Amino acid sequence: MGNDDNRRRKTPCGCCMSVFKWIPVLFIFAVIGWSYYAYVVELCVLNTENRVAMIFMLFFYHITLILFLWSYWKTISTSVGRVPDHWRIPDEEVNHLFRADNPETQKRILNNFARNLPVTNRTMNGSVRFCDKCKIIKPDRSHHCSVCSCCVLKMDHHCPWVNNCVNFFNYKFFVLFLGYALIYCLYVAFTTLHDFIQFWQTENQLSEQGQLNGSGMGRFHILFLFFISIMFAISLVSLFGYHIYLVLVNRTTLESFRAPVFRIGGPDKNGYNLGRYANFCEVFGDDWQYWFLPIFTSKGDGLSYPTATEQTGNQSYDAMGHTNHSTANRQRPAHPV
């Protein structure tokens, strides 16, 4: 990888920052751990007298929790991948590039180096995109992440809640994580609603105080569980809805703020929009049996992507504008992990 060196250089301060970056993840795990205790022990075991209802509640709770934690962990643990070595510009070429006296010369050096690479994205001045930190030609839809210190394929954004870049290799996991987290919160809120209502009724009827079959702390856990799950559900529903929208229009968060620039056609936010179903399958794969499981099934290699132009015109353009009459070369991922 052209930027491994950057990532290996760790100072003591850098190590402290690495630890610091895990705090949001630890916070999420702490909330999940507490919610598990509150739901399973305080609500189901100590406060649910109907045994059949308790078994059903626990069964669906654990199914949701497993899918939620599985997709969350896959989002966290999946590597950002690597840009293959042949995208790296040799040091002597980099020196030529930096010493070039005008942008046109730089543009010519970059275009010449990228002539056999499948790049269609350009900078605003029409040059092939180059990362001066990683010393590589940037593949289409990739961006340099200053937190990860490397170029990330199909970068969506760097998410502190997963301490990882959301990118080509874990985008499906991230969307599933949002979806299952939302289902988890809604399920917990729905099944604690009865106890929540009962609490306010008993508060208004002093003679019935204490009927919640437990101590004040037990009641506190259940009420707090209801509030927390509603609060997370409200924030998750907009984020999940937004990413479903992005999947259906085949756009990353970064591309929704700044449209990718194509060699043919210039800036175009819908440059990768192949139609809703095709867009969905590009992230979730063709086999519906894997759509809802956090298993990597995204299509392509993360380096090149079919474009809307290619689909409508049944042709595409390579780095030098030569016309291809087939879809982009779709190899398996360079490093799915």
- Closest CB to Zn ion among 162 and 283? 162
DSSP per position, 285-317:
-S-GGGTTSSS----S-SS----HHHHHHT-EE
**88, 141, 144, 251: which one binds Zn ion (CB under 5 A):** 144
- Closest CB to Zn ion among 65 and 80? 80
Q: Does 151 bind Zn ion (CB under 5 A)?
A: yes
**88, 129, 158, 172: which one binds Zn ion (CB under 5 A):** 158
Piece of the chain touching Zn ion by CB under 5 A; list 156-164, 209-217, 299-307, 320-328: 156-164
Q: Does 254 bind Zn ion (CB under 5 A)?
A: no
CA distance 179 to 183: 6
Q: Does 147 bind Zn ion (CB under 5 A)?
A: yes
277-336 positions binding Zn ion, by CB under 5 A: none
Helix, strand or coil for residue 266?
Answer: strand
Based on the residue annotation, tell me whether 159 is a catalytic residue of this protein.
Answer: yes
Q: Does 165 bind Zn ion (CB under 5 A)?
A: yes
Among the options 148, 151, 159, 165, which is catalytic?
Answer: 159
Q: Does 181 bind Zn ion (CB under 5 A)?
A: no
- Closest CB to Zn ion among 174 and 187? 174
**Tokens found for residue 255:** 């591309």
- Residue 63, CA distances (Å) to 39, 57, 213, 288, 326 in order: 14, 10, 27, 19, 43
119-138 positions binding Zn ion, by CB under 5 A: 131, 133-134
**Tokens found for residue 100:** 């070039």
CA distance 288 to 34: 34
**Tokens found for residue 5:** 């060196």
- Closest CB to Zn ion among 114 and 134? 134
Sign, CA torsion 31/33/232/162? positive
Active-site residues, by number, are: 159
Q: What residues line the site for Zn ion (CB under 5 A)?
A: 131, 133-134, 144-145, 147-148, 151, 158, 165
